Structure 1
Amino acid sequence: MTQSDVRGEGTRRGAGRSARDGTAGAPRGGGHRGGGRARRRAPRRHRVLRWSASTVAVLILVVAGAGYLYYEHLNGNIEKGARTAGDSKAAPSEPNAAGQTPMNILLIGSDSRASDENVKLGGGKNERGNAPLADVQMLIHLSADRKSAAMVSIPRDTRVDIPACKDPDSGKTYPATNDIINVTLGRGGAGCTLATWENLTGVYIDHWMTIDFAGVVRMADAVGGVEVCVNQNVWDRSTAAVHGGSGLKMTKGTHKVQGEQALQWLRTRHAWGSDPMRARAQHMYLNSMLRTLQQQNAFTDAPRLMDLAEAATKSLTVSEEIGTVKKLYDLGKQLKTVPADRITMATMPTDQDPQNANHLVPAGADAEKMWAMLRDDVSFDKKGSPAKKPAAGTGTAEAGSAPAPGDSPAADGDIDVLVRNGTRSTALGPVSGRAATVAGALNAKGFTQAAKDTSPAVSQETTAVRYPSDDLAGDARRVADALGIPASSVRKSADVSGITLVVGSDWRSGTSFPKERTPAAGDLPENSDSLNGSETGKCMDVYKPYQW
């Protein structure tokens, strides 16, 4: 073999190695070293890629885990309780033609001094062990189509019938009584306040929320302040004539309040002159707060939303059905969709209590008119549509609906009916003999088994026919038809053993149920002190002794 053959063979071998190693044209020795480095470098790149992918995966898991832990942290902040603790007869709202139902939420402001923070903010260190009072009570009504909302206050010193309630924590049972409405919180918690509202109004309330002094301060700080206005310099303080006061002190004009000053604004009563005027000041505050939140885009601004979520979950105690962050967030979003000019705030019309000049009572027909609008989901502003009554039998019996059209009633003379007098009300008192009168009317119409209940009159705002089981649904419907009682007032109930007609305070005379007038949108009583959410520039007048 010649030298040239050796060189050629060597070159071919080198070329072969260079092709495999990616070092074409390199000297054999250099090609060998380069090839070695190349073989070591490739696995390192793969290791880097694998390490990077693993890091990203870990980071994703960490971020997701942190989000989950934060979500669970917020859920852990929320205190919850049973929806009702009292004897309530209100039935769930009927759906509209589109299958939508309104939502009612009771907001309760507690004066509890159960913590050092609340004692510091509210004073009254000697009251620390006292039962809390529900000094602020406001029903938030979201219409079935979520296009309008109403917020209705009952002044804390309003005397009402309070049902029997059981404290869910202690198990203590409180008998039914007649007292001012703010004592309900100490007679079974928020569930007792809810039951009292339901019996007074006939409005089914889906949820409740309570907030204490410290919670108000946290929420006001989280929002960043709320604008309020007074027409004169105000200082709510003790005077020679009246002890106490919130401590609110500000000059005439518009101010942004937050923290403790916001709490002072909401608690002020003497400087406004009355409890209903305090409700007006609270409405102005909430009105301004809602506008502030909408301007801040709180539901789309993540940092703002986190601040509010932290404050809200630490500040609110809620009924157990809405006891998660997601459910509270969904509620907030539903309220946010309502335009400001479709939100109306009002106070239940009241009269002076004939038993105590310092107390109030519901103002009869005017108060009932407001509750009827809520029950029928009629908007408080003039932009809404007239009430649309559900057809008979459109719901389910368990949900408190009218009986189905196919139910066949027995012969009128074979239907047993017990008639109760439910006309006793805080403002007017019972109508004597109503059960006997209506039972007699049924007898005259052929319902010979109808009889009056001889027990004392009870308090029920709205007339209702109740039946215990599905086989009596048709009979109950027949009784209602005979007297002109609407189908929506016929309901299945576990509280009765047979067909029971309770003649409510909405039917105080006559033997035929009064024809219902369909409420008109915006047709609020003049003495409801209503405020539209789009109204700005409203200022409180200061009672002269508290001007400076």
Structure 2
Amino acid sequence: MFLCVTGHESGAGRDAGETGRGASGATQDAVGGAGIRTGRRSIALRTAGLTLAGLLVAAAGAAGWAYWHLSDNITSVDIDQALGDDRPRKPVATPSTAAQEMPSEALNILVLGSDTRSGAENQRLGGGDSDGARSDTAMVVHLDAGRTSATVVSIPRDTLVTRPSCPRPSGGTTAVAYGSMFNSAYAVGGPVCAVKTVEAMTGVRMDHYIEIDFSGFAKLVDALGGVTVTTEEDIDDDDSRLHLEAGTHHLDGTRALGLARTRHGIGDGSDLGRIGLQHKLVKALLERIAAQDLLTDPAKLYRVADAVTAGLTTDTGLDSLSELTRLGQSLQHLPASGVRTVTMPVVRAPSDPNRVVAEEPEAGRLWESLR
């Protein structure tokens, strides 16, 4: 279409030159040449415009595909629907205004690491038995209202608790179980029972639920370029497939996962020693993320986002990329130094020296501070 318009303009210039030769011929030729040059510039500008428009459309299409892909990575569970009103009350939020930039209420998030064997990658990394999965790691993350500080409370998986009656994923309900290991809640009733058990033992309402499997954790560490941690003793644990000498190490995803899982190669072999290593990893991950300006590197940002969402299960309040992004943006002013890591106070269980129970009143005071 553009070539036809340009050709019409240059033809008109030639007709004028043929009917008016003489002193005005050179002038008319010059006018015709200017028309040709103007036409060429018009073609170039329009071509550049079309090219830019095409690139913008392609970029928008790629962005749309990336958004769909990342959101599609996420599995969600409607915990609010499953538990109904049989839960601790949610604190009344401070009324917010349009001018407020910071969140107006604290958040409590139950974060679980599961040892599911679902998928070849989880099996390769040492997932649990093929007939189910357990909550290998459990942390309650409390974010203050201003998002300038956070408390991460680890719950030992060997803690003996009263497991409440929970709805089963396949229908029906489980019976109340007394003196049951904490991580059995996930095994018998999945995320819903894990949340209900935590709320029953703490009296704290869980606003959100996040679960990541072995594969997702390893991919996240690799996408960040690994993490650096210091161990104070040698680790030699065939179960977690980790063998490290005491000292500072830069770990890839597979070895970082081994560090998060190891227990038999350190201390007395209990879950408490492993929790200490997990706290080191939490701090190392936060420092690694803070050291990288992901917003200036879209390719790396996508790799990290893809790793975060792969193998991720959330409640329905966090099951889209936009909701996870909103949560992440609210934490942009939370420094690694503002994160406190603690373990729920426990003592040896009188009924079993290999198990622990909550130490009261210390544990109760800790949970009260998070309400």
The two structures have a TM-score, normalised by structure 2, of: 0.85
Rg bigger for which structure? Answer: 1
**Cα deviation per residue 1:180-210 (whole Å; 9 max; x = unaligned)?**
1101112221121111111111111111111
Structure 2 CA distance for partners of 1:39 and 1:119, relative to 1, 3 Å: closer
Supply the AA of the counterpart residue of 2:143. L
Distance of 2:110 and 2:60 partners within structure 1: 35
Supply the AA of the counterpart residue of 2:194. T
Match of 1:257 in 2: 251
Contact 2:138 2:154 in 1 (8 A): yes
Aligned-residue sequence identity (percent) comes to: 35
Match of 1:341 in 2: 337
Contact 2:112 2:211 in 1 (8 A): yes
Structure 2 CA distance for partners of 1:55 and 1:270, relative to 1, 3 Å: same
Match of 1:332 among 325, 328, 335: 328
1:357-506 correspondence to structure 2 within 5 Å? 357-375=353-371
Match of 1:183 in 2: 184
| Structure 2 residue 167 is the aligned partner of structure 1 residue 171 | no
Distance of 1:123 and 1:96 partners within structure 2: 43
Structure 2 CA distance for partners of 1:106 and 1:53, relative to 1, 3 Å: same
**Cα deviation per residue 1:125-170 (whole Å; 9 max; x = unaligned)?**
xx21x221111000111001222100001100111122222234x2
The two structures have a TM-score, normalised by structure 1, of: 0.58
Match of 1:157 in 2: 158
Contact 1:86 1:196 in 2 (8 A): no
Structure 2 CA distance for partners of 1:334 and 1:37, relative to 1, 3 Å: closer
Structure 2 CA distance for partners of 1:55 and 1:95, relative to 1, 3 Å: same
Q: Give 1 or 2: higher helix fraction.
A: 2
Match of 1:120 in 2: 124
**Unaligned ranges ≥5, structure 2:** 1-15, 98-103
Contact 1:353 1:359 in 2 (8 A): yes
Distance of 2:261 and 2:94 partners within structure 1: 39
**Unaligned ranges ≥5, structure 1:** 1-16, 238-244, 376-548
Distance of 1:299 and 1:353 partners within structure 2: 48
Secondary structure of the 1:106 match is strand
Contact 2:229 2:284 in 1 (8 A): yes
Structure 2 CA distance for partners of 1:123 and 1:370, relative to 1, 3 Å: closer
Contact 1:96 1:144 in 2 (8 A): no
Match of 1:287 in 2: 283
Secondary structure of the 2:273 match is helix
Distance of 1:335 and 1:279 partners within structure 2: 24
Deviation at 1:43, TM superposition (A): 4.7
Structure 2 CA distance for partners of 1:291 and 1:319, relative to 1, 3 Å: same
**Cα deviation per residue 1:504-543 (whole Å; 9 max; x = unaligned)?**
xxxxxxxxxxxxxxxxxxxxxxxxxxxxxxxxxxxxxxxx
Distance of 2:38 and 2:166 partners within structure 1: 77
Distance of 2:300 and 2:315 partners within structure 1: 25
Deviation at 1:285, TM superposition (A): 0.9
Deviation at 1:226, TM superposition (A): 1.4
Number of aligned residues = 346
Distance of 2:65 and 2:154 partners within structure 1: 38
Deviation at 1:45, TM superposition (A): 4.4
Deviation at 1:48, TM superposition (A): 3.9
Secondary structure of the 2:301 match is helix
Match of 2:57 among 57, 61, 66: 61
Match of 1:111 among 89, 110, 115: 115
